[in-house]
Structure 1
């Protein structure tokens, strides 16, 4: 008896510990982090929003359509990472806090003076605008509310705003800042504007159709939605296009949760609480990727595809697949919810009916069968494509062809998870011709873009995540360099900056270097405008006459150099 009691107590303790662990993992400090701006927070983007090939990892906070607002440290800590890049977050700061979290501030215009001095020293040491630095805890300590930067629009994004994240310092997972008490005014309910039904097996159907089917619904007096009754049979699922709007903003933001219930019981729920960057690409299974590519509309599925490894589901029975039986009735409710608790509900009445299927899915058989769990390689007319295992999410017949020097590698409406390799045999070209050649992708509009091309003897190859059309192109033209805010031999004593514009219409800019009087200078590159900017505060010159030299190289090695003399009073 004593042994039984001991075992019971032990099991109870284990269960209690497990429950406590779950509670701790889902409880966040709500009074620790302050606002990163000293203005009322209005958002243009929310956590977990569906973006191209990724989820939005934080909040995009509006900065009143201007740059230069004070960005404040959200809590005490230290600058643990500084990153400056042409793309992505642009100029970004990472602050590590003692409670196990890290806050991230992106698209900054410039850093505070001591942070700016620290990173400029590193940039001049490395002679590079793009840089990453990892200061120690003692180098750049920060206090809550301290001005750490000015807001901007760096990173190639249009429109000034502040990107703000909260991450778990140990796992790098990003967590919805709303869970930490960051508050936004939101009295508006989400909007569901499209409903699609999916037949998820060969013998299933919705209204006698075995392909994705857009369904109709009407708005009720209370603001909720009621779909027309559908007849269905077998395994089916649903998806919706939905968005949320916040107060004082017209932006269409993402949902906090999307829930589906069947006959009053919760059946499936997606929740934007925590995100792992390693799972980002599975967004292409969460959405109807083919519809997105063809129609530009994001339908979020209320079911989980077999290869989908996302961990953003709060609940899911049978992976969200509904099994509809003949002559039975079902009541499905899809609820779109924001973090403030505002909801819109769409009710879908279903009658089970095993009817004749009038429209079925079709597929075109080709000589190239992809077994997605294995390595696949195919060649034709001097072109080879090689796909690592699990590049695709399911088996398929690959549409692969080479016609008049244009290679077709399937269709861009199919998502892929990993890069694959496309290789061209270029043995028929001379060494001189090959120097200026590169692999280019061709989009739907016929525009051609450089693909990072590796040249090795008689082959060129590129690792790419794009499906569609490719070809070989030649770039014989050197990049263009233009003086932007001054002229040669001009006195520019009152100029605070020196600006040069660079561009390349074919293979694109690969690198640039600028010097004054033979000394490397830091020129910040705005990829959206092509303008390089030098701040005269960086260096002190003892003479009035100065020689500027800017050298730019494109992606195939063509180089151009601009030399210009200018004058400044000492």
Structure 2
């Protein structure tokens, strides 16, 4: 049974600390080659008519705040998309962002396939979706047809490839999931026609100086060289490092035969003196763990330079299931008497492998570690709370990946629309796994503006509305990143700009509007909501959030003659814009 100790650090921060925190027991894991061979290779066909498929994004690829849960298949808008095997439509969803128009097909062998960013569905499914949208008077819907209502055969067209939702270009995002657990599986392990005989490319490395808890003290580049035969190595026979223990990071990408694209790799293994010290592989993914990407990568390097480095060691709070639980967990102890032989292997899902070998030894001159001044010590494995006169912050257990020497300060800013000090919460280069609560007491806020007050994140560009609800004299919200926060007021209505609209719409097939707000949205704030009517009756406007665009396609519901359009748009604080105009059909 665990015992808990409550202690107070200088500055009134309360920490609830567990005196023991168990690491998962080391467990053997089959080699990646075994995972590659273990999946059925002849059950699923390619969901688009191309052989070989051109892959623009691989499973497990590093993305912002998440691992990629499928493969991105290159294609053109309107290209047919086919059911990969017999089954029935289990779910249909329409979103303004995210997956956009997406279909889930359930198969009798225990798998479900997912087809996202579709331009549109097949005619029978499209009719079902549109009727439901009009019945519910909303664009975004999440539908679960009765089993067998829409049966599909292998190779049957179920939609058209597109660019809906959060997609940045036409492609099909394709997934294979376990139906019972909803766990995503790597589609490249199922025998799809992908030609890949090119090994991954190791482009860069870093070395991290670690303490006994595998927390990072500092890091620096670990120079590598490309040899004449195309392999990579290091300049010296032995590299000396001024640390007791180190971990490594690698920047690596996969290439596909005949297709120039930097894709994600499948697996990494690191051996120290012939013994497996670290292994990561992406044969499957638990969606609840996907944000642990921010522990897996060098988050600070990503934020500063846009560089994606895989850590080849585990931070203490990294609970991702895709690692082999070795005894070392990637931490390499150094000796000044004998060098450690390191072998780092990188593999793609086709089994192609690249590697680098080198030796490291502890330098007699140890690297100096000079920490920055800080105000609070926040543990990763316990709750923390900072209580100040005008500010509180509550971090749940597991919100951090390693103990944090937390920097906090306030500055005064008399800019128009600000009603509190600027609270500087450490920096935005330190990742946070879970939402945490922030409370700020405003100053000089007129009572009539209380309903318009928000906690704002002030980074680059326009501020983020993070929402906020009143708790006594404090405005309270939940956020998931460190940075600069203050209380601001949002009393400006959104803007509605006609893109395709005039008084005479008789020769138009669509009408479209651009809608925008003065704040971006994050935290617990709501996105823009809207409602469009013609002659008082609700009409469907499709919302493409990445383009800030509403589009209505004329489909015969609006007859010939003169009509009255009313389009209203509201933001998170209830500010409303209205566009009203007559038009002819």
TM-score (normalizing by structure 1)? 0.89
Change (3 A) 1:193 1:446: same
Deviations 1:437-486 (A, max 9, x none): 2221111x354111122245533222110110012222232222222212
Distance 2:146 2:370 in 1: 58
Q: Indicate the SS of the match to 2:380.
A: coil
Match of 1:55 in 2: 67
Which stretch of structure 1 is more off in the superposition, 214-223 or 558-567?
A: 214-223
Structure 1 runs not aligned, ≥5 long: 1-18
Distance 2:271 2:520 in 1: 52
Q: Indicate the SS of the match to 1:36.
A: coil
Change (3 A) 1:203 1:148: closer
Match of 2:16 in 1: none
User: Given the alignment, which residue of 109, 113, 128 partners 1:118?
Assistant: 128
Cα shift at 1:71? 0.8
| 2:253 is aligned with 1:231 | no
Cα shift at 1:430? 2.4
Structure with greater contact order relative to length (CA < 8 Å, sep ≥ 6):
2
Match of 2:148 in 1: 138
Structure 1 contact 194–241 (Cα < 8 Å) conserved: yes
Match of 1:212 in 2: 219
Match of 1:480 in 2: 495
Match of 1:4 in 2: none
Which stretch of structure 1 is more off in the superposition, 219-228 or 174-183?
A: 219-228
User: Given the alignment, which residue of 50, 59, 64 partners 1:39?
Assistant: 50
Cα shift at 1:354? 5.2
Match of 2:15 in 1: none
User: Given the alignment, which residue of 334, 340, 361 partners 1:330?
Assistant: 340
| 2:39 is aligned with 1:28 | yes
Structure 2 contact 231–356 (Cα < 8 Å) conserved: yes
Structure 2 runs not aligned, ≥5 long: 1-29, 413-420, 522-526
Q: Indicate the SS of the match to 2:261.
A: coil
Match of 1:406 in 2: 422
Distance 1:254 1:378 in 2: 39
Change (3 A) 1:457 1:109: farther
Structure 1 contact 371–395 (Cα < 8 Å) conserved: yes
| 2:95 is aligned with 1:77 | no
Distance 2:367 2:380 in 1: 30
Distance 2:162 2:174 in 1: 13
TM-score (normalizing by structure 2)? 0.87
User: Given the alignment, which residue of 375, 380, 383 partners 1:372?
Assistant: 380
Structure 1 contact 197–212 (Cα < 8 Å) conserved: yes
Structure 1 contact 507–554 (Cα < 8 Å) conserved: no
Match of 1:170 in 2: 180
Distance 1:271 1:562 in 2: 52
Structure 2 contact 457–485 (Cα < 8 Å) conserved: yes
Structure 1 contact 381–402 (Cα < 8 Å) conserved: no
Structure 1 contact 380–402 (Cα < 8 Å) conserved: no
Match of 1:10 in 2: none
User: Given the alignment, which residue of 356, 373, 379 partners 2:365?
Assistant: 356
Structure 1 contact 211–361 (Cα < 8 Å) conserved: no
- CA-atom RMSD, angstroms? 2.4
Change (3 A) 1:190 1:271: same
Q: Indicate the SS of the match to 2:290.
A: helix
User: Given the alignment, which residue of 514, 538, 554 partners 1:536?
Assistant: 554
Deviations 1:39-90 (A, max 9, x none): 2310110001111111000001111xx3111111111111111111111111
Q: Which has the larger radius of gyration?
A: 1
Distance 1:181 1:315 in 2: 29
Q: Indicate the SS of the match to 2:563.
A: strand
Cα shift at 1:436? 2.5
Change (3 A) 1:158 1:203: closer
Cα shift at 1:224? 1.4
Q: Indicate the SS of the match to 2:528.
A: strand
Deviations 1:323-363 (A, max 9, x none): 2233113321111121223222211122x345131422524
Distance 2:486 2:362 in 1: 50
Structure 2 contact 184–284 (Cα < 8 Å) conserved: yes
Cα shift at 1:401? 2.1
Change (3 A) 1:267 1:203: closer
Change (3 A) 1:449 1:143: same
